[in-house]
Amino acid sequence: MYELEEKGYLYFLIAIPVLAMLFLYVQYWKRKKQREFGDLDLLKKLSPEKSIFKPVLKLIVFLLALTCLIIGLVNPKMGTKIETVKREGIDIVFAIDVSKSMLAEDVAPSRLEKSKQLVSQIINNLGSDRIGIVAYSGSAFPVLPITTDYSVAKMFLQSMNPGMISSQGTSIDQAINLATTFIDKKDKTNKLLIIISDGEDHSESSLNAAEEAKKLGLKIITIGVGSEKGGPIPLKRNGVVETFQRDQNDEVVITKRNPDVLKEIAKATGGGYVDGNSTKTVLDYVKNALDNIQRTEFESTQMADFKSQFQWFLGFGFFLLFLDIFLLEKKTKWVEKMNLFNEKE
């Protein structure tokens, strides 16, 4: 196995055939001019020690040296070292409310965008924990299974919106039930579910779902976003507010944060509730909670550690350049005696 660290330098290899063609052209041009101004046989007699082969040899050595230097800049790496990597952490599932009420802008820029920011900041502060993401409104949808790839998690996180789930409403029990499916009962790793919502739960079985989750060893932390004063739900087109969500009586719907529901769900599993309007408060609370959860080894893999090999190519390249200095265009005496290249008449 191998990999090339700086592949961009490979473009310099184009210079190798260009220099070879330029050398051939120069040789052709010199020979042509020699025919125009003199006799070739006479020129050979005037410079008997000049070798025909040596200039070609010098070019080959120089091009090999240049090739080695370019490959050295590319820094080829080879997998020669195998080491065991062990990770310790917990499994964290984020359940994010994507119902239409999360579009309210009583928290800037909106409840949903604030939720994404909170999750992203929490992920930034994680170490080797595994994470998963669930989206929910009237039903729940698995966005990302348990993984350690935080960059992919953030990519999926940013794509979340109310349109990804057709059934509207807010059923936190659906999110809890789906989060429990992320749990491997044979895996002894500690589990944590972080629910981010405005607390407008339209179901009646959230507490029952939380109690069942506790039996599986799932602890729940709830984060409430939005203001208790509330705000309307804007309906936008191309980023511009056209109107606001209205009820059956054509009255503008005012959605409010309901922290009581979120507090009861968290309390049922021995977790806690935190106000999500303050990012610092959330990060401090989650960090403290994670510090109090025992981390267990959940993964043991073998990885190939690629070792840099650039030094060999650079060393050989400089050696060839050094050798090229001492390659003269005069004939070598012992080679001349052997007449390998038919340079004698």
Q: Which pLDDT band holds residue 332 (cuts at 50, 70, 90)?
A: low
Distance CA 38, CA 330 (A): 21
pLDDT in tens, 29-44: 877 776 776 666 655 6
Q: Does pLDDT of 272 surpass 80?
A: yes
In DSSP terms, which residues pair with 84 in a beta bridge? 302
Please say whether the beta carbons of 123 and 93 come within 8 A: no
pLDDT in tens, 283-308: 999 999 988 888 777 665 555 667 77
Kindly report which listed range (90-99, 255-264, 289-298) carries the lowest average pLDDT score.
289-298
Six token digits for residue 163: 């349109």
For range 143-172, the mean pLDDT:
86
Six token digits for residue 106: 């009583």
Q: Is the dihedral of CA 161, 166, 172, 173 positive or negative?
A: negative
CATH architecture for segment(s) 86-300? 3-Layer(aba) Sandwich (3.40)
For range 218-246, the mean pLDDT:
86
Q: Does pLDDT of 197 surpass 60?
A: yes
Length of the chain, in residues: 345
| Percent of residues, the chain, with pLDDT higher than 70 | 83
CA angle 124, 162, 153 (to 5 degrees): 25
Which regions of the chain carry the CATH code 3.40.50.410?
Answer: 86-300
Q: Looking at residue 334, what is its pLDDT?
A: 45
What is this structure's pTM?
Answer: 0.63
